[in-house]
Structure formats: structure tokens, C-alpha cells
Amino acid sequence: MEPVKLIVGLGNPGSEYAQTRHNAGQWFIDALTRRFPAPAALQAETKFKGMLGQTTIAGRGVRLLIPTTFMNLSGQSVAAVANFYKIEVEEILVAHDELDILPGTVRLKQGGGHGGHNGLRDIISCMGNQKKFGRLRIGIGHPGNAKQVTNFVLKKAPATEQSLIENAIDAAIDEIEAIVSGDWQNAMNTLHRFNAAEPEDGDRQRDINGNND
């Protein structure tokens, strides 16, 4: 895989959305900046419609972006940054909430469709229908009924689920140097075995099925 030059965390702007499940991508960026303090801290950039900063990971300069548009317009911010800094779509990693996997799990993939996620849908559209950007899929679980999805993602998770999500984010950050360097296979091998909901069996909790979806 290509080394990563831009990491994006998706969510909705405003304090009323900050703790909702749909903002899991933003939580990832927040946690990342605590682990890798940004020499150029995240600052509001009107021309990029987002909070933009830069840090160093695995010896590489990496831009960090939180769009300040609403979720369904995220692509405007991502495309503006990518075009200005001449970042190829394959050099972008987007962290986002994922309904199809449970809290406490996280998955890494390159390319694919939007899966009904409005943030991914708009990024694909604004990037000229290019889909080969990386995705860090942070599991939030599913309410069990499609009609309840909107209400579900725009609500705060219970404390037990929130803790699982945060543990999964920490696990992903443990692998971010490999991801940024382009060593995705090793990162995937580790992350796709991780499950914060499993009983501890040593120094890391693991998902015994080793699913690489």
C-alpha cells in the first residue's frame, strides 16, 4: 500500500454531536494527536472547511483533518486539502464509524464503496468517484433496524460501549506507524484479531475468529 499523507476523522460539527457515535472518526484524530502531538496543531482553515494540522508519524510528515462541514458534505473538505497539497487518493486514510462491526473492533481496508455511510459517499463523489482511499472502520454496532440507524448514530453510546470503542481506537493508534509507512498487511493482521470485548489472554485482547473483512 502507499504511505499515508493525510488522515481524516469524520463526524458532525458542534458540541451537540461531539459525543455521538457518528463522531468516532473525530475521536480517532483527537486520540492520535494525544499520542503524536502535532507541531502544527489543528486549526480552523476556512478555505479547507475543516480543522487542519500536521504531525510526524514513523518519520513522515502527515496532515490531520477534521472536516467542519456536516457529515454528508465531508468530501468538500477532503478534496480541498488533497487538491491543494497534491495528495493522491491512495495516500488518504479516512477514520469513520462503522455500523456493520461491533464496538470494541476496528477494521482496516483500502478502497470499496460507501456502504451507505454519507461521509464516505460524499468523499467518493468529491474525489471524482475515486474510491481507493484507505478506511479505518471503527465499530459502533447496529441498532438492529434500519429505520433506527439515524437516531442510533446521533446518540451517545452507553459507557460500556464507549469504553470498547475507545479501546479499539487505541489499538488502531498502536498500528498507525505501520499504516502510515504503507505496511498495511501487518497492521491488518493485528487489528483484525483485536476485540476489546473478548476476555484478556495476555498483553492484548484478541478476536479469535481473525476475520479480515
DSSP labels for 26-39? HHHHHHHHHHS--S
Distance of alpha carbon 118 from alpha carbon 203, whole angstroms: 36
Residue 160 C-alpha cell reads as: 460500556
Q: Clarify whether 192 is annotated catalytic.
A: no
Q: How many residues would you count in the chain?
A: 213
Asked whether 65 and 81 are in contact (CB, 8 A), the reply is yes
Question: Which of 169, 156, 158, 175 has the alpha carbon at shortest distance from 196?
Answer: 169
Phi, then psi, of 73 in degrees rounded to 5 = -120, 15
Q: Exactly one of 22, 96, 117, 192 is catalytic; name it.
A: 22
Which sign, positive or negative, has the C-alpha torsion 139, 145, 150, 154? negative
For residue 206, the cross-strand partners are: 194
Residue labelled with grid coordinates 473525530:
26
Asked whether 177 and 58 are in contact (CB, 8 A), the reply is yes
Known catalytic residues are 22
